[in-house]
Structure formats: C-alpha cells, structure tokens
Amino acid sequence: MSSQTQDTARRVTVPDIRGRKGGEPIVMLTCYDAPSATIMDPHCDILLVGDSLGMAVHGMTSTVGVTLDMMILHGQAVMRGAKRAMVVIDMPFGSYEAGFETAYANAARVLKETGAQAVKVESGPTAPATIDYLVKRGVPVMGHVGLLPQSINIDGTFKAKGKDEAEYARILQSAHDTANAGAFCVVIEGVAERLAREITEAIDKPTIGIGASAACDGQVLVSSDMLGMFDWTPKFVRRYAGLRQEIDNAVATYAEDVRSRRFPAEVETYFSKKPVA
C-alpha cells in the first residue's frame, strides 16, 4: 500500500463527521497555509480553507473579491500540511450561483486540483437545489446558514441574524432545506442561541457554530481571530493567544539587533577554513 493511500485511509471522512451528530463535538478551524495545517492537523477534525482568507490573509474588506484560483492555491497548501483532518474548501462568491453545470465544474475543479474532501457553500435561496445537484454527482457539500458573509453587499454590514420572527423562520427553513438537499454538515453563523438550538435539534445533520452558541454539534473560528492576529475580534471569539503582540515584539527586537550590529553574531556567521600549510 502506498503512503498516499495510507494517509487517505487515516483521514477524517464525510461519514465520520455525519456520524458525530449529537456526539463528541466537532472541532474546526480555518486554515490557509501548509505550516499552519501541520500544527492544527493533530487537534482538529476539519480544517476549513475559508474564503475569509480574503480578509485574514490578503487584506480585503470582504470575501466578495476572493477568486476560485485563490481558493485552490491555498487549498493545495493546506493539503500539503494536513494528513489527518478533513479539508473543506469554500466555494467563493460567483463560483456556484450561475447554474448547476457551472457549480459542478468549479466544485469538481476544486476537489481535483487540491485533493480536498469537500466544498462549502453559503445557503442562499438557490443553494439547496445546487447542493442536491452536486451531491448526486459525487461532490460532498457543507452548508452554511445564518449570517452569510458573501451577501455583505446586500446586508451592508456583518450583523447577527434571526432577530425578528420572519428572518428567524427563513433561517430555520434554510437549514432544513440545506440538510434535506444532502449537505453532510451545516455551519450556523451569527445567530442567537435559541435559533441555533432549534436548528440543531430539528435537522439530522451535525451543526457547527460560529457565533451561534454551544448548542451546536461543533464549533469553528477564524484562526487569525482566535490566535490574536488583529487588534479587534468579534464578540463571539475567545482569544487563545496574542500572536500580533508576540510578532511585533520579535520584529522590533530583530530590527534593534540589526541596527546595533548585535545580529548576526559570531555563532550565526560562516567563516572560511584556514588554508592548509
């Protein structure tokens, strides 16, 4: 058996995740590069190559400008570092809304060119039919309901969803439709605990919350947020590290050492061997 086959056999699979409904909570983080994937892989069930990379890595103001090529490039990097966790890749804005065949061609390209196990789509009004089309053709799909970052130009801002009864009912129905269409798992973003709990109890697929309370079957955070890479983080994020300050301190010390000629020191310098007499 080849090493590639062995690695594939050890990976978390779609049936594994589907079987976690109501069981041990699912651990998911966003991941955008190979070194981070290597570190996160032993601890996470799922690594999500999220289109949040547009903001977290490329400095964009939203996810709308993220391209399929960007997702594939980062997906390939994550797959080089992840050996155990399932890798799921976001379908970016504009890559799955134009029609079933376009959605399938783009999703198939993502899976072929990265080797990832599944794609994720934001579950707007037309998404369930697209999910059904993809799943029936062999593409595992993770859904996403509640706050939909790709709809920022409609909503105008990133704000919690389901506060009024009409919106509450729409999100609940979207979750039902997404699960019934064949999504193996559903991300719930930015909703109150009551709605997250009702969705989790109502559908037969695992739910993964982000700003959706502990009522869900698992949790996901943007890794840059939980690692403290930015000055501001959303209310629902717990900072588990302060890497922004750590990096700032390290770079400042390096700059000071270079300017004062303390770096490189003798231990970091190559010297020529003495000529043989």
In this prediction, residue 162 carries a pLDDT of: 81
Closest Cα partner for 191 from 156, 216, 165, 163?
163
In this prediction, residue 156 carries a pLDDT of: 64
In this prediction, residue 3 carries a pLDDT of: 43
The rounded distance, in Å, linking the Cα atoms of 11 and 174 is 30
In this prediction, residue 213 carries a pLDDT of: 96
Which pTM was predicted? 0.93
Tell me if 122 is assigned to a ligand binding site.
Answer: yes
pLDDT in tens, the chain (277 residues): 444 444 444 899 999 999 999 999 999 999 999 999 999 999 999 999 999 999 999 999 999 999 999 999 999 999 999 999 999 999 999 999 999 999 999 999 999 999 999 999 999 899 999 999 999 999 999 999 999 988 877 676 667 788 889 999 999 999 999 999 999 999 999 999 999 999 999 999 999 999 999 999 999 999 999 999 999 988 999 999 999 999 999 999 999 999 999 999 999 999 998 776 6
**CA dihedral sign, ordered 143, 144, 150, 156:** positive
Tell me if 7 is assigned to a ligand binding site.
Answer: no
The rounded distance, in Å, linking the Cα atoms of 247 and 174 is 42
Peptide bond into 264 cis (omega under 30): yes
The rounded distance, in Å, linking the Cα atoms of 106 and 98 is 11
Among all residues, which ones are annotated catalytic? 189
Q: Please name each of the domains of the chain with its CATH number.
A: 3-259 (3.20.20.60)
Tell me if 120 is assigned to a ligand binding site.
Answer: yes
Mind giving me the DSSP string for the chain? --HHHHHHHHS--HHHHHTTTTSSPEEEEE--SHHHHHHHTTT-SEEEE-TTHHHHTT--SSSTT--HHHHHHHHHHHHHH-SSSEEEEEPPTTSSSS-HHHHHHHHHHHHHHH--SEEE----TTHHHHHHHHHTTT--EEEEEES-GGGHHHHSS---B--SHHHHHHHHHHHHHHHHTT-SEEEEESB-HHHHHHHHHHSSS-EEEESS-TTSSEEEE-HHHHTT-SS---TTPPP---HHHHHHHHHHHHHHHHHTT-SS-GGG---PPPPP-
Tell me if 52 is assigned to a ligand binding site.
Answer: yes
In this prediction, residue 276 carries a pLDDT of: 66
Tell me if 90 is assigned to a ligand binding site.
Answer: yes
The rounded distance, in Å, linking the Cα atoms of 262 and 277 is 34
The rounded distance, in Å, linking the Cα atoms of 193 and 242 is 28
Which tokens hold the place of 124? 């707007």
